[in-house]
Amino acid sequence: MQTKRSILFLAVLLLAGFLATGCDDKEGLATAETNSTQPPAVPVSVIEIKPVPMRDVIYLPGTTEAWQDVQVAADTAGRIEWIGPREGERVNKGDLLIKIDVAALKAAMDHAEAQLKLADNLYQRRRRLFERKIIAEEELDLSATQRTLAATDYEQVKVRYYHGFPRSPIKGIINHLYVDAGEFIDTGKPIADIVNIDRIKINVRVPELDVRFVLKGQKTPVKIDAFPKRELNGQVDFVAFKADPATKTFLVRTLIDNPFGDIRPGMIARVAFVRRVITDALMAPLFALVDKGGERLLFIEKDGVAQSRTVSIGVIEGDRVQITSGLNAGDRLIVKGHTEIEDGMKVSVQ
């Protein structure tokens, strides 16, 4: 009898153990199932929002122009005997460009010079006679007048003669020659175009709403389309006081140095005009903005949860934008992983 009771007691203990083990397994499975339904936190990167200075900049296209652009014309007619510098060659101010046959004017100049010397010698003799009181003062005055007229004639002929040797009025480069040696050129016909590109003008058309921010002497960062990696600094040289009646824009001219001589007239430039400086702007990277149904959103991380904010934007400078509403100083702005989250999702700051 005692043996049967012992066997029964052991069976009850084994059954209780099996039941306890089954309950533990069910609780573990339930816990695992519950944890598997919760999505993992999305890894993100954040930056803390702080007030920073921003510039309100307007970028406008313009065209480059030579600092000096001169067309030299002939002041006298004649056959071209000689041509000096050719296209693409540099010249200094006063360099001889061509020689025109002015042999007839040379003879006239020599004659006028001889007449001047004769008139001067006559005046000197009469002056000595007048000092000795041999002739009257009227004769001396007549001789002085004749000398003056002879000098005037000589100067006029000399000027016409030297018109046969036109010279460069500026330092620059021969951009185009209109003549060849041996041909006849008439008065007023072009000889050569000479450009000076040591400095470059950039002409920009500024809208009427923005021209009030542009002042003479203002610094202007410049980009040339042909040299996108080159940083250039210009300075406003002229602001038009009258608008173009067709476009209602104002001509603004800014100047840049061209030490390498590779910026050429006619190139496209982009000029930046600073309209104002915002000293305490709240800024966000442009790529952090998310468009949701026409609304601009930013995501903020707070206590491990993503919060969406509808924002308004202001000034755009480069790759950053001013946030005028919806963002506060001290907010932790999500700048990486923001395209993979929704409002209220758990996030993990990396």
What value does the mean pLDDT take over residues 324-332? Answer: 92
Residue 89 CA to residue 301 CA, distance in Å, equals 66
Q: Residue for token digits 């991380």?
A: 301
What are phi and psi for residue 130, nearest 5 degrees? -65, -35
What value does the mean pLDDT take over residues 193-201? Answer: 97
Determine the distance from the C-alpha atom of residue 219 to the mean position of all C-alpha atoms in its chain, rounded to a whole number: 10
> Cβ(321)–Cβ(314) under 8 Å?
yes
Reported as a pLDDT band with limits 50, 70 and 90, residue 336 is very high
Q: Please give the pLDDT value at position 38.
A: 63
In the predicted structure, residue 101 carries a pLDDT above the cut 50: yes
In the predicted structure, residue 186 carries a pLDDT above the cut 50: yes
Parallel, antiparallel, or unpaired: how do β-strands 332-336 and 347-349 relate?
A: unpaired
pLDDT digits (tens, 9 = 90+) for 31-56: 444 445 567 889 999 999 999 999 88
Q: Please give the pLDDT value at position 244.
A: 94
pLDDT digits (tens, 9 = 90+) for 214-244: 999 999 999 999 999 999 999 999 999 999 9
Reported as a pLDDT band with limits 50, 70 and 90, residue 10 is very low
H or E, element range at 29:
helix 2-36
Assess if CATH 3.30.465.10 describes domain 59-66+196-278: no
pLDDT digits (tens, 9 = 90+) for 276-296: 888 899 999 999 999 888 889
The dihedral through the CA atoms of 150, 151, 153, 157 has a sign that is positive
Residues of CATH 2.40.30.170 domain(s) within the chain? Answer: 59-66+196-278
H or E, element range at 2:
helix 2-36
Amino acid (1-letter code) at residue 204 = V
CA dihedral 91, 96, 98, 102 (to 10 degrees): 170
Assess if CATH 2.40.420.20 describes domain 43-52+279-349: yes
What value does the mean pLDDT take over residues 333-349? Answer: 91
Assess if CATH 3.90.1300.10 describes domain 103-162: no
Residues of CATH 1.10.287.470 domain(s) within the chain? Answer: 103-162
Q: Please give the pLDDT value at position 37.
A: 59
Residue 4 CA to residue 165 CA, distance in Å, equals 144
Task: Please report, rounded to a whole number, the percentage of residues in the chain having pLDDT higher than 70.
Answer: 89
CA dihedral 18, 23, 26, 30 (to 10 degrees): -160
Residues of CATH 2.40.420.20 domain(s) within the chain? Answer: 43-52+279-349
DSSP letters along 109-147, please? HHHHHHHHHHHHHHHHHHHHHHHTT-S-HHHHHHHHHHH
